[in-house]
A and B are shown apart, each in its own frame.
Chain A
Amino acid sequence: MNGDIRELYQQMIMDHNKNPRNFHAMAGADRTVEGYNPLCGDHFKVYLKLEGDVIKDISFDGSGCAISKSSASMMTAALKGKTRGEAKALFEEVHKMLSRGIDEPFDAAKVGKLATLGGVCEFPARVKCASLAWHTMLEGLEPTGKQVTTE
């Protein structure tokens, strides 16, 4: 099989796709934000429970491709218990990782397990899938009132 396909669809990504974490609606969420890419059909909601500066709980539901779903799942696992500042910083790092040039390195230590999404930058058409949940989450933390989309 094609090497970069293996790199893209790594076991951890396929595992999150099959058994997504925090994959449910949240009763009593402080923020519910919808992210939608109409051209490809990826459609998720991200739910946030905030306590002061801390993301007390985060979940998501909806449907989409393996990349968008596993990215959303890994995001919720990474952000639970983080402060807004930490979440924003991680958003920036993930954004950098996804949108970098193919030959540019990225600092894997800063993103932890999310480094498995690093192969996405080889597939420019799929960057929008991997980043959808992240932009949706950010809209929850810093509302602009705009419809969230990465297309």
Chain B
Amino acid sequence: MPPYQGGGDMIRSVSFEKTIYNDLPYKFEAGTPHIAGVIGLGVAIDYISSIGLDRIEAYEQELLKYGTEKLLQIPDLRLIGTAKHKSAILSFVLGEAHAHDIGTILDRQGIAIRAGHHCAMPVMERFNVPATTRASLAFYNTREEIDRLVAALHEVTEVFR
């Protein structure tokens, strides 16, 4: 396979007659590699390990339970995806409000969610759900933030009444 780009380290020797490329993986890693990224990844792995994946998962599941209970109290909110064992994400539709309108209203409150078909067009078409709003919870999120999400969703309902 020929190299897809040229640059430092991907060459062994060059003359007018011929070019010899370096061994793999260097042949495909022209130029300065993403050194800062590699160091950052190492630090991130150390950080996650220092907390512990088990603890992170337990906390996220606790948040998920709390968020699920809170969201289900909102009138006309329907959770999409209610598997017993699932990651800490809350996907939902809310009354007549379109996911992108919800997204704009939440954004103005500093709440970042994902809206749309989540790279799952065929299954969403199958169940006739044009778009959902999805809040993803991570170990740095808090119960207070879920309360803020719920308050903002009440505002959405207010706008779309």
Contacts and interface: CB of A to CB of B under 8 A. Distances in A.
A27 interface: no
Interface string A1-23: 11011001100001000100000
A123 B96 contact: no
Interface in A40-92: 40-41, 63-67
A116 to B, nearest CB: 15
B90 to A, nearest CB: 20
Interface residues of B, number: 19
Given A123-B104, A126-B104, A2 B98 contact: no
Contact of B109 (A2, A14, A18, A39): A2
B160 interface: yes
Nearest to A66: B101
A2 B116 contact: no
Which secondary structure dominates where chain B touches chain A? mixed
B8 interface: no
Contacts of A14: 159-160
Given A9-B159, A18-B96, A65-B98, A2 B117 contact: no
Interface size bracket, A side: 20 to 34
A47 B61 CA distance: 50
A125 interface: yes
A137 interface: no
Interface string B104-125: 1100110000011100000000
Contact of B98 (A5, A64, A123): A64
A35 to B, nearest CB: 16
A1 B158 contact: yes
A111 interface: no
Contacts of B131: 40-41
Given A5-B108, A14-B160, A40 B101 contact: no
Nearest to B109: A2
B116 A125 contact: no
Nearest to A43: B130
Counting from the closest, the 4 A-B pairs by CB-CB distance are: A65-B98, A65-B100, A2-B108, A9-B159
Interface of B: 96-101, 104-105, 108-109, 115-117, 130-131, 155, 158-160
24 contacts: A1-B155, A1-B158, A2-B105, A2-B108, A2-B109, A5-B104, A5-B105, A5-B108, A8-B104, A9-B101, A9-B105, A9-B159, A39-B116, A40-B131, A41-B100, A64-B98, A65-B99, A66-B98, A66-B101, A66-B160, A67-B100, A125-B104, A126-B104, A129-B100
